[in-house]
Amino acid sequence: MLWLLLVLPCLGASVPRTPDPGSGRELVDIVGGCDVMARRYPWQVSLRFYSMKSGLWEHFCGGSLVHPQWVLTAAHCVEPEELEVCAFRVQVGQLKLYDHDQLTKVAQIIRHPQYNDSLSAAGGADVALLELEAPVMLSEHVYPVSLPPASLRVRSGKICWVTGWGDIVDRTPLPPPFKLQEVAVPIVGNEECNQQYKSYFNDSDSEEIIKEDMLCAGREDRDSCQGDSGGPLVCRWNCSWVQVGVVSWGILCGHRDFPGVYARVTSYMSWIREYVPRFPGS
């Protein structure tokens, strides 16, 4: 997969930005969405890295607040592994990017041990945790999302919601004032999704492209896209919003035959609980 790279000040290293749209298994942003109302998704976070060109901490991925001191995101957002925590900042409680930034430093990055840098998101285990240097102050604009029980099964056809500041269509960035976007997407069963992706890659062998730890969602003109990676897919369950997916990868954006692919959060609940304490208020 091809990347555009920007130099970071603390390493003289680089972090991935938007992949080449012609590179096949693209990383994914919000297509067919609309502006988010205040307080609707108080767990949404923006991951930032420093651009020497602009002199700003720029948005490059999404994430979700799952505890006052922990953020869940995609592992491919924080590769390569050699990058240090000083390369990243987190912004919480923001609907418009760069609107009165108050960035939080990252104390620790924990990538899932089964994530494979060479396979990237399509290899699975595309989840990572960021421990913040200090807990963020909670309010009606900043609040953790609920995590699902490992036993939760999301049925095909259920309507869930994905949010982010990514591209609104292929190669078309979200325009100023960069308002957070939301879109409703139907869950697509893994078997159906796998067959659709196999047809694209002319892959007739037994290996599954859509693995058990992945979840598909979306339809024509309703999808995540470049820049939404790491962000949350949430569903209503027992009268609460529950995060079931992490934006991971896909083919094009909003294509009728290729739903977006997400890391399935239920597959990683035991791993998440090794680090993230339960937060009773979420």
125: left (phi over 0), alpha (psi -120 to 50) or beta: left
Query: Residue 244: which of 229, 272, 264 has the closest Cα?
Result: 264
Question: What three-state secondary structure class fits 68?
Answer: coil
CA distances for 282 relative to 57, 159, 265, angstroms: 29, 21, 16
C-alpha span between 68 and 133 (Å, rounded): 11
- Give every CB contact of residue 36 below 8 A, 6+ residues apart in sequence: 44, 95, 163, 179, 180, 181, 182
- Give every CB contact of residue 205 below 8 A, 6+ residues apart in sequence: none
* Residue in the block written with tokens 């869950």: 187
Question: What three-state secondary structure class fits 206?
Answer: coil
**Among all residues, which ones are annotated catalytic?**
76, 126, 229
C-alpha span between 16 and 4 (Å, rounded): 6
C-alpha span between 171 and 223 (Å, rounded): 14
By the 8 A CB rule, do 3 and 19 touch? yes
